[in-house]
Amino acid sequence: MSVALSHPVTQSSWTGVQGISDRIALIDRWGTIVAVNESWSDLARQTGTMTSRIGPGVNYLEICRAASPSCPDAREALAGIRSVLGGKSRSFVMDYMANFGSSPAYFRMAVTPFCHGDAEAAIVHIDITELQLSKENSLDRVREFAQRLVKAQEEERERIAKEMHDDLGNRIALLSFSVQSLIKQRHEHSARVQELGDVLHKISDLSYALRQLSHCLHPHLLRNFGVGVALKVLCEEFAKTTGIRIHAVIPEDLPRVSEESGLCVFRVSQECLHNIAKHSQAASASLVLEQVQRHLRLTVSDRGRGFMQSLAWQKAGLGLTSMKERVLCVRGQFEIRSAPGTGTEVRITVPISEPD
């Protein structure tokens, strides 16, 4: 989010900013407030704060320092103002939330040099509540759409997996029984029996491949035994099928994970391993699942050829969009690091339980 200063404070314009809505204060080199505009004083009255506590003569750095032990925003503001006063930065901008009454308000704090009399810097607080709420509402709509899309996709996967198991699986089983019956009836023709044995072996391979495909479409292990067991089996099958060595670190004592978060971790793992086998040309890979407070963190990496991220996003390739949408659905975080010749690392962090 970027909002330009609606009223940049300069030496020539200070006398004309008394009536604007942005809260403005001027501080000297030591951080003491030397002047404030009317909106700054109005905010004090709205919040029930005495002007003597935040008005001229009060050290603004001390206000931030006093609040910094319990407030990260105050620590950030303190460091930013010091940087501008010390000449290390030309400006400083940060966004923060404040509770006024029953609803939160959002502000953007901007600090810029201002040399006039004793003043060395101007501190401006801009109300961006409307813009922030609009952004959050838009994000909620995107998340809701993504959730519906993922749900529809999973329902279709489940339907296809059931059809494969119930219909094609039964047909293959009947075909296998028919071949076994023929083998029993043709003991005198050893050559024919051998051919039928080969056919039976191929049918068994086909049946196994069909079961694996059905399980990938709809991971029953995930629902019945949890994400840890499902990932272990996924890694074993990946190594067996592709020949790529995989170092899997999966805790034995994982907490109970919500169905949405567990499915997200499993599908992202699937997509990452698929991409490694298809694109990376790596001989080995790593999959690490760990608990970080009330979140699960999944990291899948390889030392393959990597790729240019900007190009991949433009083409919407490598399943990046699908993975990001899934993580967005469960209010998680998605990170990817890759560059040509340096390998790839995908990391997601998702809540263990469903968010309120």
pLDDT band at 47 (very low <50, low <70, confident <90, very high): low
Residue whose tokens read 């950030």: 76
For residue 33, is pLDDT > 80? Answer: yes
The CATH topology of domain 14-127 is Beta-Lactamase (3.30.450)
What is residue 174's predicted lDDT score, i.e. its pLDDT?
63
The phi, psi pair for 247, rounded to 5°, reads: -95, 110
For residue 318, is pLDDT > 80? Answer: no
Cα 280 from chain centroid (whole Å): 23
What is the average per-residue pLDDT within 305-321? Answer: 71
What is residue 18's predicted lDDT score, i.e. its pLDDT?
47
Q: Which of 101-105, 277-281, 352-356 has the highest mean pLDDT?
A: 277-281
> Alpha-carbon torsion 79, 83, 89, 91, what sign?
positive
Number of neighbouring beta carbons within 10 Å of residue 7: 15
Question: Domain 221-356 carries which CATH code?
Answer: 3.30.565.10
What is residue 54's predicted lDDT score, i.e. its pLDDT?
76
What is the average per-residue pLDDT within 198-206? Answer: 68
Q: Which of 4-13, 82-91, 130-139 has the highest mean pLDDT?
A: 82-91
Alpha carbon distance 132, 148 (integer Å): 25
**Whether the Cβ atoms of residue 48 and residue 60 lie closer than 8 Å to each other:** no
What's the pLDDT tens digit per position in 151-192? 666 666 666 666 665 556 666 666 666 666 666 665 555 656
More confident site: 104 or 339: 339
pLDDT band at 7 (very low <50, low <70, confident <90, very high): very low
Concatenated DSSP letters for 104-144? EEEEEEEEEEEEETTEEEEEEEEE-HHHHHHHHHHHHHHHH
What is residue 11's predicted lDDT score, i.e. its pLDDT?
45
Cα 138 from chain centroid (whole Å): 17
Q: Which helix (H) or strand (E) holds 27?
A: strand 23-27
Q: Which of 157-171, 243-257, 262-276, 304-318 has the lowest mean pLDDT?
A: 157-171
* Residue 260 CA neighbour count, 13 Å, CB half: 20
For residue 16, is pLDDT > 50? Answer: no
Mean pLDDT estimate for the chain: 77
What's the pLDDT tens digit per position in 328-345? 888 899 999 988 888 999
Alpha carbon distance 190, 188 (integer Å): 6
DSSP β-bridge partners for residue 54: none
Alpha carbon distance 89, 113 (integer Å): 9
| Domain residue limits, the chain | 14-127, 138-218, 221-356
What is residue 308's predicted lDDT score, i.e. its pLDDT?
81
Q: What is the DSSP letter of 277?
A: I
Alpha carbon distance 288, 247 (integer Å): 8
What is residue 250's predicted lDDT score, i.e. its pLDDT?
94
Alpha carbon distance 222, 211 (integer Å): 15
Alpha carbon distance 267, 216 (integer Å): 9
What is residue 154's predicted lDDT score, i.e. its pLDDT?
63
Largest CA distance in the chain: 113
pTM: 0.48
Tokens of 356: 């309120």
What is the average per-residue pLDDT within 278-302? Answer: 93
What is residue 21's predicted lDDT score, i.e. its pLDDT?
66
What is residue 192's predicted lDDT score, i.e. its pLDDT?
61
